[in-house]
Amino acid sequence: MTIKKENWRILTNKEIYTSVKKPTVIETIRLNRLCWFGHVQRMEGNRIPKRVLYMNLGTKRLRSRPRNRWQDEVREDGVIVGGEGWQEKVHNREEWKKLLRTARTLYILRVPME
């Protein structure tokens, strides 16, 4: 009985993600963040999540390079997905869901791997 050794090698993440047609973890987080932002934007102004989203704590930020805030990340993702007028599309629920569905199927938020 002879055992054949097969050639195998370790696949890179880039090769795995191109072969598997599933969104990356980063892409899933970005889409869920946009989905939640749209949900909160459509809420009434007196609801707690909406008040917290626009709350100003009045504290100073540290001296080094400022870390991105949640709203900064949402703004970047929104421009990638919806272009310049993305904030007007948030208020129309059906249009916003269609935009996010398109982003999910076309992998618009996919981060290129090196």
Q: Where are the domains of the chain?
A: 23-52+68-106
In percent, the amount of the chain with pLDDT more than 70 equals 92
Chain segment 56-90, per-residue pLDDT in tens: 877 887 788 888 888 899 999 998 888 888 888 89
**pTM here?**
0.76
Supply the mean pLDDT for the chain: 84
Q: Exposed e or buried b for every residue in 90-101, given b needs 16+ CB within 10 A?
A: beeeeebeebbe
What is d(CA 10, CA 64) in angstroms, rounded to the nearest whole number? 39
Chain segment 96-112, per-residue pLDDT in tens: 999 999 888 887 777 66
What is d(CA 69, CA 107) in angstroms, rounded to the nearest whole number? 24
What is d(CA 102, CA 82) in angstroms, rounded to the nearest whole number? 10
